[in-house]
Amino acid sequence: MITGARPLILLDVDGPLNPFAGTAETRAGFVEHQIRLSRWNKRKVLRLWLNPALGPALLGLAERTGAQLAWATTWGHRANTVIGPVIGLPVLRVVELDDAGGRWKFPAVERFAAGRPLVWLDDDFDLYPAVRDEFLGRRVGVPTELWRIDPRVGLTMGDLAAVEAWLDGHSNVGTPE
């Protein structure tokens, strides 16, 4: 467990929790859901694959490590009403994403984290490599792990075990909140 500032575990939906690029073979444990979102044409159905075991696993990880779960997804607050209930997550804080002028989620995550240690679970860190590297450069001295999830497979129990080991390995950092 990291002592001092409570670490963050930031969750993206599409890729990590919804392995949209996968196949039936690569999505073991994920269940297909068909939903309609109000912003979409009422006749259009969005297909998602979600693993109901991930919610309890994420909650257990957060409890064991003292970390705080939060959404860092373009789903925004809808993650709390559409995704969270399906996989057993309570309402979580949301990183308020903005149009960062081609800088993706990095500026919003930087503001949200405010110097706290973080593990960020996402599949798109390589979209803007220069911006990613700048983000990491500004976080020198603050434990930061960008954990890339394969969007064909989604978040696995192995990923969660590795994230827990990473958090445990950074147990003497941070400053009081």
Question: For residue range 22-65, what is the model confidence (pLDDT) as tens digits?
Answer: 999 999 999 999 988 766 566 678 899 999 999 999 999 999 99
7-32 average pLDDT score: 96
What's the CATH fold of domain 8-17+52-169? Rossmann fold (3.40.50)
Of the chain, the percentage scoring pLDDT greater than 70 comes to 88
Assess contact for 96 and 103: CB atoms under 8 A.
Answer: no
Where residue 100 falls among pLDDT bands split at 50, 70, 90? Answer: low
More reliable by pLDDT, 45 or 137? 137
Question: So what's the pLDDT on residue 103?
Answer: 78
Dihedral-angle region of residue 7 (phi above 0 means left; psi in -120 to 50 means alpha; beta otherwise): beta
Using CB atoms within 10 Å of the CB of residue 109, give its burial: 0 to 12 exposed, 13 to 18 middle, 19+ buried: buried
Q: Is 15 left (phi over 0), alpha (psi -120 to 50) or beta?
A: left
What is the DSSP secondary structure assignment for residue 170, as one 8-state letter?
T
**Range of weakest confidence among 55-64, 80-89, 127-136, 163-172:** 163-172
pLDDT reported for residue 44: 79
Amino acid 45: pLDDT: 85
User: Strand 46-50 vs strand 31-35: parallel, antiparallel, or unpaired?
Assistant: antiparallel
Residue type, 152: R
The mean per-residue pLDDT over the stretch 158-175 comes to 82
What is the three-class DSSP state of 146?
strand
**Count of other CB atoms within 10 angstroms of residue 46:** 12
Query: How much is the pTM?
Result: 0.91
Query: Quick check: 165 pLDDT over 90?
Result: yes
